[in-house]
Amino acid sequence: MKTTNFNWTKIIPYVVILLLLGTTFYFYSRSSNFKDKYKTEVKLGKALIDTITTYKNKYNEIVVEKRTLQSNIKELKNMNDYLSDNQQELIKRIKSLENKYSIIAAALIQTNVILDSLRDGNVIVDTTENKIIITDSLPDIEYSFEIRKVRPSFSSEKPVFIIKRLFLPNTQFIEFHWKNERKEGYPVSFSVSNSNKYFETVDIDSYIIPEIEKQKIKPNFWQKLGNTGKKTVPYLIGGAIGATTVYLFSR
């Protein structure tokens, strides 16, 4: 019976090629993980010291923007000495909800209402009741004021000022979005806009779970290979944060 000797030398080049590919992929994955860790640290560091940026959007509304904290809550609590008062309050509120909710994102917004150079509206002087009524209705503010017991200066009675109505409608639009900064791994920023000119956002701080990253939603070829077998993020749809996002507003 004739036996055929298998020529191992024929498959050696293929084995070498597979080893080279495996080695290349291994070192690329380690290098990619190191780069991702470095980018995460850079994003967190810059977010900790970032200040608000103000600009106008296409609706002529004032928009306030600031970088988002991207880290787990435990790490942020260990960095308490580096957090501002507003950031500490944000982390405190998120921590208090951990047992009840699964926090994806949260923001703490400080807003002031500023009435500057409010002009007189419709003025009615009632000499019978000794009072002055001031009213007006504008797109950004409606009010109705009364000043009672208006008498000559020699009277012993003091005038009484009553705000009968003060209404300031405001639509606030809030948004998480990636900044177009590739070298930093596309950090997340948070922005707030107010439709009413009398509302001023004086400070914002936001948090988002570190798993929400651009490269995990729209990865390149090598990132797809590196992400193989890793847990996906089911609540991300088309790069948008789902409806389960939680917002915390200051009172």
Tell me the domain boundaries of the chain: 22-115+170-249, 122-167
Q: Looking at the predicted structure, is the pLDDT value of residue 148 above 60?
A: yes
Distance CA(73)–CA(92), nearest Å, equals 10
113 beta partners? 199
Find the mean pLDDT for residues 86-109: 83
**pLDDT tens track for 200-246:** 999 999 999 887 777 776 666 655 665 554 544 333 323 333 322 33
Distance CA(23)–CA(237), nearest Å, equals 34
Q: Of 66, 68, 28, 101, give the one whose Cα is nearest residue 185.
A: 68
Confidence of residue 163 (pLDDT cuts 50, 70, 90): confident
φ, ψ dihedrals at 221, nearest 5°:
-60, -50
Q: Which residues contact 123 (CB under 8 A, 6 or more apart)?
A: 132, 133, 134
Query: Contact, 233 vs 216, CB < 8 A?
Result: yes
Q: Of 39, 63, 47, give the one whose Cα is nearest residue 194.
A: 63
Instruction: Give the pair of three-digit tokens for residue 150.
Output: 């208006």
In whole numbers, what is the pLDDT of the chain averaged over residues?
A: 76
Residue type, 101: Y
Instruction: Give the pair of three-digit tokens for residue 139.
Output: 């797109």
- Which range (67-71, 167-171, 195-199, 231-235) has the least confidence? 231-235
pLDDT at 194: 93
Residue type, 239: G
Instruction: Pick 159 or 126 by higher pLDDT.
Output: 126
pLDDT > 90 fraction of the chain, expressed in percent and rounded:
24
Query: Contact, 174 vs 57, CB < 8 A?
Result: no
